[in-house]
Structure 1
Amino acid sequence: MTPRELIGTAEVPGGPPLRLFRRNDDFMIVLDRNELMSTRMSGSEVALGTLTCEPLAAHPAPRVLIGGYGMGFTLRAVLGPLGAKAEVVVAELVPGIIEWARGPMAALTAGCLDDARVDLQMRDVGEVMREGAGRFDAILLDVDNGPDGLTREANEGLYAPAGLAAARRALRPGGVLAVWSAAPDPAFTRRLLKAGFATEEVRVKARENGKGASHIIWLARPRTG
């Protein structure tokens, strides 16, 4: 087997560094010994974008927040069904992730960060959610390997009651909070319900060809009444 080549290291504010590896044409982003994402297993990141934003295709001017750029699979899936008047805010805390996207992974990025609909903000997605009520039609969170602070301890707050309350306030009527996870988490499902969300838990394959492990996407909508 061809050995992995270390391409670069990116510092994470308040967390351990990320490393970018390449093996032949495949890229992998690794935290300690955990492979957070790779170009070989992008199916569930694509599904996060399509499941959330295909229902918004007829919306005249939807506003979407994505927490975590990653390798851009979710962003490209979001942009696909949305019209010219859409606004997609991408909150990415790690500058190195964007440097990799514009550098060694530029071909994979395919210009999505330069799309006129994209507003890239280099900061914590939690800050964006807390800035005002009723701002977004959809909020997509994929900043960890699930609803816990794997990449940095401060991310725990996104999935705690206060973070879920901030997400709910930031949604417009009819909006949806979508959260990606590598594995089921019944405790998080209960927190969503307690925070006032009606929740659908969708199991999707890690690979776009329908093979490989299954990942989880929660689609949570604020209950009314």
Structure 2
Amino acid sequence: MPSVHDAPYDTPEVLDRRDGPYGEVVLRRHGPLLQIIANGCFLMDTSDGRSERLLIDAARQALDESAQGTPRPAPALLIGGLGVGFSLAHAAADPAWSRITVVERERAVVDWHTDGPLGAVSGAALEDPRAGVVVTDLLDFLRETSDTFDALCLDIDNGPGWTVTEGNDGLYGPAGLASCARVLRPGGVLAVWSAQPSPDFEGSLRNAGFQRVRTEEVPVARGVPDVVHLAVRPG
């Protein structure tokens, strides 16, 4: 039987709950972990961060490969989804990026970073002069921005094969992928995190005109691995 001392680890504590434009979002503390819940579905927590770091590193490596030894200016990075901040923090730790733009549609998530406990993950990165956060829907941003980027890293929902928020699946369809390609410079890299492999999404990337499509797995002790889908916009 659990002891009284175990109770904080067994019972999540709700730190904030808000009704946003896309439903309810909740920040919880479960023992030492911070968790984000959207419309009752667990999205992510601060337990690891390996897959978020791989998302950034894989994009960076694919970008170097697509350059094929040709010198290019320091690359600009667009991150779709702030989440618990691992991707932003890892990108900001790399001086190679000239500009890091994060698009997050939930004002609550941004507040949890700027004025809340998730600042422990992202605080230094948010103070980096190269970094900025735009609070808007990513699809709207992709359609409307005049900026272009060398890499686009998507960490939206649970990936292309398992979306839990209405409207997110449009990001991974033909129109959404066309918008992704629009903001990428020639030779730019699209990296997409997913909670599970999606062979169908690889086909969608090829049908959208992307090249060098491949999938990298995040090693796990058991269960289905997280993956990062990678693709390059033709030069």
TM-score bin (small chain):
0.7 to 0.9
After superposition, what is the alpha-carbon deviation per residue over 1:187-211, rounded to whole angstroms, capped at 9, x for unaligned? 2111111111121111113xxxx64
Which residues in structure 2 correspond to 1:76-225 (within 5 Å)? 76-83=89-96, 86-102=98-114, 103-131=116-144, 135-147=148-160, 150-198=163-211, 199-205=213-219, 211=221, 213=223, 214-223=225-234
- SS class of match (1:81): coil
Q: Against the structure 1 CA distance between its residues 59 and 223, is the aligned structure 2 distance closer, same or farther, given a 3 Å change threshold?
A: closer
Indicate if the aligned counterparts of 2:161 and 2:194 stay in contact, CA closer than 8 A.
Answer: no
Q: Distance in 2 between matches of 1:17 and 1:127?
A: 21
- In structure 2, relative to structure 1, the CA distance for the partners of 1:82 and 1:126 (3 Å cut) is farther
Find the aligned partners of 1:74 and 1:61 in 2 and give their Cα distance.
18
- Please give the secondary structure, in 2, of the residue aligned with 1:144: coil
Match of 1:73? 86
SS class of match (1:64) = strand
Whether the aligned pair in 2 keeps the contact of 1:134 and 1:173 (CA below 8 Å) is: no
Q: CA deviation at 1:11?
A: 3.1
Shift of 1:212: 5.3
Deviation of 1:53 (Å): 2.5
Q: Does the 8 Å CA contact 2:63/2:187 hold for their aligned counterparts?
A: no
Q: Matches of 1:134 and 1:96 in 2, distance apart? A: 25
- SS at structure 2 position matched to 1:41: coil
Greater shift, 192-201 or 102-111, is seen at: 102-111
Counterpart amino acid of residue 187 in structure 2: G
> Higher mean Cα deviation, 214-223 or 107-116?
107-116
Q: Larger Rg: 1 or 2? A: 2
Which amino acid counterpart does residue 5 of structure 1 have in structure 2?
E
In the aligned structure 2, how far is the partner of 1:183 from the partner of 1:139?
Answer: 19
SS at match of 2:159: coil
**CA–CA distance in structure 2, aligned partners of residues 134 and 172 of structure 1:** 10
Query: For the Cα contact (< 8 Å) 2:187–2:234, is it kept in 1?
Result: no
What corresponds to 2:67 in structure 1?
none
1:16 aligns with 2:16: no
**2:48 corresponds to:** 41
The 1:212–1:87 alpha-carbon spacing in structure 2 relative to 1, beyond 3 Å, is farther
Note if contact 1:53-1:81 (Cα within 8 Å) is conserved in structure 2. Answer: no
Tell me, in whole angstroms, the C-alpha distance in 2 between the residues paired with 1:155 and 1:32: 13
Query: What do you get for the CA RMSD once the two structures are aligned?
Result: 2.3
Most deviating of 148-157 and 99-108: 148-157
TM-score (norm 1): 0.87
Structure 2, unmatched stretches of 5+, are 1-5, 65-70
Residues 106 and 132 of structure 1: CA distance in aligned 2, closer, same or farther (over 3 Å): closer
Which blocks of at least 5 consecutive residues in structure 1 are unaligned?
Answer: none
Q: Distance in 2 between matches of 1:56 and 1:164?
A: 18
Percentage of matched positions with identical amino acids: 35
Paired AA for residue 222 in structure 1: R
Q: Secondary structure at the match of 2:226?
A: strand
